[in-house]
Amino acid sequence: MSLPTPRIEIDVARLVDNAAALLSLCLSRGVELTAVTKAVSGSPRIAAALHACGVRSFGDSRIANLRRMRESGLKGQFVLIRSPAPSEAEAAARWADLSLNTEISVVKLLGRAARARGSVHGVILMVELGDLREGIPPAELDDAVAQVLPIEGIELAGIGTNLACLNGVRPSAAKMRELSSLAARLEHRYGVRLRYVSGGNSANYGWLVSTRDTGRVNHLRMGESLLLGCDALTRQPIPGLHADAFTVVAEVIEVRTKPSVPDGEIVQDAFGHQPAFTDRGNRRRALLAIGRQDIEPATLRPRIPAEIIGATSDHLVIDATEAGLEVGDEVAFDVGYSSLVRAMTSRDVLRAFTRGTGVELSAEETVADRAVPRRGPA
């Protein structure tokens, strides 16, 4: 019996290939890899597969995902890659070995929570190098380090930065040299050795393969390049990696020939956009049972000769004039990062794992699955 739709099919073997290749690349440059699992909601099955090929450090922005992986029995280092909120300090100290931080008040709370547990929590202080998301300005970094070092229950594990996420600032060789210089200065001034100088995320792939000298940068946090096999700066496939480890599948619920231009006064759509249209005459349109609650249409690519026209919360409309679709047909899509995130976090998208030749599928139950009954058998 076929699995319900919508679903996301996950080829674990291809993910393992990607992870092994990136891990080998990082190790050859003296860089430790933390596999970022936030886009797959901390899936224990995916994390276990990555562990089997040598990954030993797992990063996530959600404490619940770190907890899910740890409670599954996964062994390794767990890194909270979003600075914990003050209300999360106790949980962060319990479920994460390391966390990225910028606020001294939060580090103090983490130290208190770690002491109560009889443990030590590692902290990587994030430095602002231009992308204007999280980060301590370089001019204030010495003072921040001076405040962190005496906090009981806290180890200053390193410094790091994040680029290309909010405003698309490239993690260039110059930026990495600046981070290395800051690390060297801190080590000299305070007589410490930083375990980690964390240069960034998947956007650092181009720098990693092209630089002759990684300097003091010895750690990267990579998710998109590992999961989707692409360069996060260009979204171009990385040679030798798989760009199709994930497949979103949705079912056709209506097929009709309709005009390509709506009839009536055009106002804002349901999401506040003002649509524009090109008159292409009557076209064969298919309506699919998946929507913006489940995916991001802009990063979804049909594997058939079809074009995405638009989407609402619960429906995806495609031009299927050349595709010959009928009601009940399934349409497969390649996914970009934002579509992957939404599909893996939607409680209405079934996760299915390919095995062997790829024709056998099995479902992974999540917390949401246990809370909400599934539609049909899994």
Secondary structure of residue 236 in the 3-state scheme: coil
The answer for residues whose C-beta is within 8 angstroms of residue 253's C-beta and 6 or more apart is 287, 288, 289, 327
Beta-strand relationship, 7-10 and 246-259: antiparallel
Residue-wise over 247-264: b if at least 16 C-beta within 10 A, else e? bbbbbbeebeeeeeeeee
Q: Of the candidates 121, 118, 124, 119, which has an alpha carbon nearest to the alpha carbon of residue 101?
A: 124
Among this protein's residues, is 75 annotated catalytic?
A: no
Cα–Cα dist 223/345, whole Å: 15
Active-site pick, 38, 75, 108, 175: 38
Q: Of the candidates 278, 276, 302, 295, which has an alpha carbon nearest to the alpha carbon of residue 337?
A: 295
For residues 131, 135, 138 and 141, what is the CA-based torsion angle, rounded to 10 degrees?
-170
159 is written with which tokens? Answer: 């410094």
CA count, 13 A, side-chain hemisphere, 223: 21
- Could you give the residue numbers annotated as active site? 38
